[in-house]
Structure 1
Amino acid sequence: MKHPLHVTSEIGELQTVLLHRPGEEVENLTPEYLQHLLFDDIPYLPLIQKEHDYFAQTLRNRGIEVLYLTTLLTEALHTDDLKKKFVADVLKESNLSMNGSSQQIVDYLLSFETEAMVKKIMAGIRKSEIPVNKKTHLYELLDDHYPFYLDPMPNLYFTRDPAATIGNGLTINTMREVARRRESLFMSYIIHHHPRYAQYDIPIWLDRDYPHPIEGGDELVLSKDTVAIGISARTAAKSIERLAVNLFKRQADMKRVVAVEIPKSRAFMHLDTVFTMVDYDKFTIHPEIQNKKGEMNIYILEKGRDEDTVKITHKTNLMEALKEALGLKEVTLIPCGGGDVIAAPREQWNDGSNTLAIAPGVVVTYDRNYVSNKLLREHGIEVIEVISSELSRGRGGPRCMSMPLVRKDI
């Protein structure tokens, strides 16, 4: 078998991708806990599943191998000891101790077959599901109104963020928000224990125990020697610098990391919500990440004098920085919503800039972003639209919903 991880660009022909089909975790959303679980609305489960299936089939129709998170994790937990360790790690990540009433949660989870256990952990455990020991502490009595022992994980269908493939390795990410921190634990178990991956010595460029956050939506592989990382609400500058050092040490082809600062707001959650690569020399962009002069903060990180340092160069012009980093004579930036005062922010809200390139000049987008899609086509891009009324409620587009595992080199 070829190496199971290989991504050296954003636009190389996509061969294998990881998805997660939304499940019962979406039905455990309620208005009171939307903010806590990082959602703005409640999708309708049968329809969001139908839309996700359409998305997955769209990729298969182009010859792309689609793998599912639930399946891989189930196959990774192939012994009783691994199941027990995984449950213990999940409870630890959820700040549930292994003694007292928490043991009942452990026993409850381990009573399921592996796949059902995985789905239950994703869906969350309601208090009504398990009879627990009588409360003996004041804090337990005060917290009785909260309906879950184990929170649901509705963000799982955005498989881009917990881990990101770079070259033949990956980052397994420290997630910024508490509601998402367990997600990268799933990828860690898959990489270390699934037969498809465990047989390889897969380099982990930055692991989930690193104390500062980074998320895959901020990680863009522009070429075999250049990675762009967003300095965003979800990714810290310290993580970017450490990742750069590790890549320069361990991946011979890597020459530079382009750190792009974007506004720290929910509307501009990750770099890929405002900027994606769609062809060799074409990119989508949401104009509001630049100031009125078309400037923004860009930092080019290159190898320093010794292996634990980097040389940093400050730039302010995105087009010039991209041309220099990628050796291009010209670069085209295609504005979300055509830059229109109404269409741009509306389509940005629905991830008009969040395209998934499946080959050079071929992208998957949401059908609802018709202004941006028309403009992409006018620039010679083949646009494959997927239905999106429910998927878009989670505030992530086709790139957010997919973790490329293998792409052809360009």
Structure 2
Amino acid sequence: MSEKNEHFKVQVNTEIGRLRKLLIHSPDSGIGKVVPSKAQDWLFEDIVHLDTIRKDEYDYYVKLLMYFLDPDKIKGKLADIDSEKAERNFFKPDNKDFHASANVIELQQLLGEVLADTTIRKKLAASVCAIEGCTYKLQLQLIDTDPKELAKTLISGSLPDGRMIFSPIPNLIFTRDVGTTINNFILLNKPAKKARVRESLLMRYIFFNHNLFENYRDNILEIPDGEHHFLRPGEEMENRTTLEGGDVMMISKNHVLIGCSERTSPYGANEAMKLLFDNNVVEKVTVVRIPNKRDFMHLDTVFTQVKRNTWVLLHSIASVEENKQQNPIDFLVQPEPKEQTEIIQFYKDKSAPKHYKSMEELFEDISKKDLKSTEPTKFIYSGSGVFPYDAREQWTDSCNLLAIKEGVVLGYDRNDKTVEAFKNNGFNVVNVKDLINDLESGKVNADELTDTLILMPSAELSRARGGFHCMSFPILRDDI
């Protein structure tokens, strides 16, 4: 395992402060092993082409992150990285030229380093084999596997000889969902779906055992089940304690948003809120309950923050009262109460909760009161707020953007109407390939970039149902 890093810092108190460190997971071979009959069980809507995702899409993401977060590791080396002689999975830890950045941190690398400890390797192999129903002999074989190879196996589901021994965990590329940094605490998830249980287990072993996080082990929060949870009726998610990172947003030093969605239950939101209040992490938590539908999945699929006064969101569910029959397709449908958006703000000092009428009202309150914006609050709507483009583009993650710094965000290149809305709100729009070339040549300085939407290739990535907010786990941002 790597030596203890005394200077390693964990601190995130907004969604838009200059990004300095994050956890990612570059697409692994397991994504290329998703089969149609199991795709939905493994939370994929479709099977995707692995080489295209790696070389033509995700690699641009890693390159861009490196230019912003660790430029010395990439500047002047782009030609070699792009050379035909370079291996396709250049950004994986098993590549001999792997960057091993201390700022753009690959989870597979951390897992391999944790597994170098024999005691931890035995415990984790036993835990994985227990939840996957493996034989005892296979457990012994895994324990004897090289730590780096074992890390690949536990993620991809395949032994070094290529044999699949259990399912892959293709959703690990969506690192946001396994946890959230809240100030200098890390809130770990409690997944709703069986397909993500192994991800959650691996993350616990990394955070509690890797030397990087040694100074923060007392600040790692795990969601408990409520007392007598085993007596709740049925197996429906609403009766279980579940929480995923896509439903947790760090808004300001004292304020967190938690969504109740397809993946996070009211029990999970309540337990998370109690943890945050009991540990004096924040002073207020706003719970946003969105319709429990696959279309929306997590809070960050229907809105993300762009600047302290600018938000991108799906208009059709933004309002608490007025979201009935917004789309022509719903004209015969009267949503049940649980299909309505509900927004309630709770306080550590147990003051009376505050109710909001719409997401716009909440965001304006955040922009002006929490973030002290003196400019008018702006809303950029998915698909320019026009049916059917709003729904189509939200499905391909028009609202799921990652801010590298305030006003500089990454989004998919396929959401044309949303791109138009950004332009109409004064944003520059640039293709990632052009921006990387300009960063390499020195024509553009990353620190001087302002109010820019960076368009990322998305033909295959968008089919996995997650944008760059999903594909990032920030652990250090500057204050704003």
Among 327, 335, 347, the residue aligned to 1:302: 347
CA distance in 2: counterparts of 1:4 and 1:263, whole angstroms: 36
After superposing the two structures, state which structure 1 stretch, 196-205 or 55-64, moved more.
196-205
2:262 aligned partner: 233
Are positions 1:11 and 2:16 aligned together? yes
Q: List aligned pairs for 1:373-392, cutoff 5 A.
A: 373-380=419-426, 381-392=451-462
Instruction: Provide the C-alpha distance between the structure 2 equivalents of 1:303 and 1:159, rounded to a whole number of angstroms.
Output: 29
Q: In the alignment, which residue of structure 1 is the partner of 2:382?
A: 336
Choose from 101, 106, 115 the match for 1:68: 106
Indicate yes or no: 2:19 matched with 1:34. Answer: no
Distance 2:316 2:365 in 1: 23
The DSSP-based 3-state class of the residue aligned with 2:139 is helix
Q: CA separation of 1:311/1:171 partners in 2, compared to 1, >3 Å: closer, same or farther?
A: farther
Could you tell me how far 1:298 is from its partner in structure 2? 0.3
Conservation of the 8 A alpha-carbon contact between 2:108 and 2:152 = yes
Q: Which amino acid is 2:341 matched to?
A: M
> Quick one: distance in 2 between partners of 1:324 and 1:206?
30
C-alpha displacement of 1:286: 0.8
> Mind listing any 5+ residue stretches in structure 2 that lack a counterpart?
1-5, 71-102, 227-239, 324-339, 427-450
Matched, 1:195 2:236: no
Determine if the alignment matches structure 1 residue 280 to structure 2 residue 308: yes
> Could you report, residue by residue, the CA deviation over 1:324-368 in whole angstroms, capped at 9, with x for unpaired residues?
345156422210010121221221111011000111111011111
Q: In structure 2, do the counterparts of structure 1 residues 45 and 107 end up closer, same or farther at CA, with 3 Å as the change threshold?
A: same
Given the alignment, which residue of 402, 416, 425 partners 1:356?
Answer: 402
Task: Find the aligned partners of 2:352 and 2:202 in 1 and give their Cα distance.
Answer: 34
Instruction: Report if aligned partners of 2:208, 2:217 keep a CA contact under 8 Å in 1.
Output: no
Partner of 2:138: 105
Pick from 152, 174, 177 the counterpart of residue 190 of structure 2. 174
- Separation in structure 2 between the aligned mates of residue 324 and residue 10 of structure 1, nearest angstrom: 16
Q: Which of 42, 60, 63 is residue 54 of structure 1 equivalent to?
A: 60
Q: Distance in 2 between matches of 1:93 and 1:5?
A: 31
* 1:168–1:202 Cα contact (<8 Å) kept: no
Any conservation in 2 of the 1:256–1:302 contact (CA below 8 Å)?
A: yes
1:93 Cα deviation from its structure 2 partner: 2.9
Q: 1 CA distance for matches of 2:360 and 2:318?
A: 11
Higher strand fraction: Structure 1 or Structure 2? Answer: 1
Note if contact 1:176-1:235 (Cα within 8 Å) is conserved in structure 2. Answer: yes
Identity, in percent, stands at 34
1:258 aligns with 2:286: yes
Other-structure match for 1:150: 166
Question: For the residues of structure 2 that align with 1:2 and 1:409, how far apart are their CA atoms?
Answer: 18
| 1:245 corresponding residue in structure 2 | 274
Q: Please give the residue correspondences for 1:291-330 in structure 2 after superposition, counting only pairs within 5 Å.
A: 293=322, 296-305=341-350, 311-326=352-367, 327=369, 330=376
Contact 1:184 1:208 in 2 (8 A): no
Matched, 1:290 2:315: no
Q: How well do the aligned residues superpose, as a CA RMSD in angstroms?
A: 2.2
For residue 247 of structure 1, report the CA deviation from its aligned partner: 1.5
Question: Do 2:223 and 2:271's aligned partners in 1 also have CA atoms closer than 8 Å?
Answer: no
Range that drifts further, 26-35 or 285-294:
285-294
**Matched residue count:** 382
1:298 counterpart letter in structure 2: I
1:43 corresponds in structure 2 to 48
State how far apart, in whole Å, the 2-side matches of 1:251 and 1:208 are.
17
Counterpart secondary structure, 1:170: strand
User: Which whole-Å deviations, capped at 9, do the CAs of 1:69-88 have from their partners, x for residues lacking one?
Assistant: 10011112231111110111
Q: In structure 2, do the counterparts of structure 1 residues 270 and 366 end up closer, same or farther at CA, with 3 Å as the change threshold? A: same
In structure 2, distance between residues paired with 1:31 and 1:269: 21
Deviation at 1:129, TM superposition (A): 7.0
Matching residue's letter, 2:59: D
Question: Runs of 5+ in structure 1 lacking a partner?
Answer: 131-147
Say which SS state the counterpart of residue 17 (structure 1) adopts.
Answer: strand
Q: Residues 238-257 of structure 1, C-alpha deviation per residue, up to 9 Å, x if partnerless?
A: 222222222223235x2211
Q: CA 1:13/1:245 → structure 2, altered by over 3 Å: closer, same or farther?
A: same
Match of residue 186 from structure 1: 202
Pick from 150, 175, 180 the counterpart of residue 159 of structure 1. 175
Q: TM-score, normalised by structure 2?
A: 0.75
Number of the residue aligned with 1:91: 129
Aligned equivalents of 1:299, 1:340: Cα separation in 2: 28
Q: Distance in 2 between the 1:213 and 1:311 partners?
A: 26
User: 8 Å contact 2:18–2:404 — kept in the other structure?
Assistant: yes
